Amino acid sequence: MGTSTTTSTSEYQSHVAVAAFPFGTHVMPLLSLTKALASMFPSSHFSFLCTDHSLASLPSPLISNISFVPISDGLTGATVATNIEAKIGLFLKSFEKSLREGLKAAELVAGCKVCCVMSDAFLSMACKVTSEMSAKWVPVWTGGPQALLAHLNTDLIRETVGVGDEAIKAYGDKNINFVPGLSHHLVSDLQEGIITGDLNSPFSTMLHQMAHRLPNSSAVVLNTVHGLDSTVDSFFMQKFANYFPTGPFHLLNSTDTEPLTDSYGCLPWLDQHEPSTVAYISLGTIVTITPAELMSLANGLATSGVPFIWSLNEKTQPFLPPGFIDKVNETGKGKIVPWAPQINVLGHTAVGVFICHCGWNSVMESIAAGVPILCRPFFGDQLVNARAISHIWKFSITLDGMVFTEQGVIRALEVVLKGEEGRKMRDKVRELKDMVNIALIQQGSSRDNLKRLMKIVCGC
């Protein structure tokens, strides 16, 4: 990858390296945070380290004191990784070596030594490398706060309920009332790697090690807003030397906006609809929905009569019911596109509900737009997030059995868009939107935390 600036002498007051986890939706939030810091402190240089493949997919930062620095993905000419788990394992195995090499390359570009490594919290092995360099380590957690809380209490949870199928059988439907901040959650909500799945896999081991390393960091940054969950805030403030809830990351920097292009005409289409009447559907970029659920969701939308925009990749569209797309186009009741400018769509007054997988980026974007959520979580922290937004913040509804059925979709849309319960959800999420807006003003909590973070990572 090219770099945005190269110097042979040290023209910068400090040099911060940012190490991104190149899988899922981890990279963009970390880049947004990096851009916000770089804009605030132009005399610091920020080297953004990630794999070639991920860097190639990113828009140029357009900020002169940020450079992209490629690091190894762990693959070699003789190595074949056929699935995401294998790719993650190879990346993690080689990461410490790759980070050291990347930091050397970054220092050549910037012309000065790295004083701080700000890494995705997943990459807690960075703490060892930073210790060798006498540099600071600042991990960034891009997921939901309750999910991090669960990881930090992994040992306690295992001691209390056990592990594996037996633990789920005995405690799956029980609340985790022995962990403050998780009392609304069920044991079965917990992400894999805590008590279920292969606890010895590279990914599970990585997360368990992370939980033990984070308290030794210079600071921990979260993509959330102070006050969103005061119990969780209190735990993190006691656990970490410096706890900085600094979100939503996607709104920190005025230059960090989605492309103005709306190739498929989503926004003009929304202009034709009344406020809070349209369903927007996006299940993320990783989830593969089963053909049966895809059919149920499509039929539920059609039968409900609710107008909708559905961001659905072209590879999946052939699995929709026969004639569905043609009928949608003929009636004008819906719009199916391979990509939508999600933040702009959610911010449109016509959108009344977001049908999503409850990935944390989507949750924060929905809160920032003041739009209720219809939840269909799949894996990872999505079940934990879904429980939080439905039972703690109460601006969502979760599908029966957490799967799409035609009647379930119809009932849920009726509740959210037309019922009294839906009105209460809209009121609640708009309160949270106001909280976000206050946090982002000049003296707001997220802005203040960003300034405090800058002092640690940049030494200023």
120 catalytic, yes or no? yes
HSE toward the beta carbon, residue 156, CA cutoff 13 A: 13
**Cα(460)–Cα(458) distance, rounded to whole angstroms?**
5
Instruction: State the burial class of residue 133 (Cβ atoms within 10 Å of its Cβ: 0-12, 13-18, 19+).
Output: middle
**Cα(341)–Cα(170) distance, rounded to whole angstroms?**
44
**Cα(298)–Cα(66) distance, rounded to whole angstroms?**
43
**Cα(7)–Cα(64) distance, rounded to whole angstroms?**
12
Pairing mode, strands 136-141 and 116-120 = parallel
**Cα(211)–Cα(233) distance, rounded to whole angstroms?**
17
Which of 15, 26, 151, 348 is catalytic? The answer is 26
**Cα(135)–Cα(119) distance, rounded to whole angstroms?**
13
**Cα(307)–Cα(263) distance, rounded to whole angstroms?**
20
**Cα(445)–Cα(439) distance, rounded to whole angstroms?**
5
**Cα(453)–Cα(243) distance, rounded to whole angstroms?**
9
Reduce the DSSP state of residue 278 to 3 states and report it. Answer: strand
Q: Which residue has the tokens 């997360």?
A: 207
Residue 179 one-letter amino acid? V
Q: How large is the C-alpha radius of gyration of the chain?
A: 22
Which of 15, 73, 120, 381 is catalytic? The answer is 120
Instruction: Say whether the peptide bond before residue 248 is cis (omega within 30 degrees of 0).
Output: yes
Alpha helices in 338-381 (DSSP H): 342-346, 360-369
**Beta carbons of 5 and 68 less than 8 angstroms apart:** no
**Cα(8)–Cα(409) distance, rounded to whole angstroms?**
60
26 catalytic, yes or no? yes
**Beta carbons of 146 and 232 less than 8 angstroms apart:** yes
Q: Which residues are catalytic?
A: 26, 120
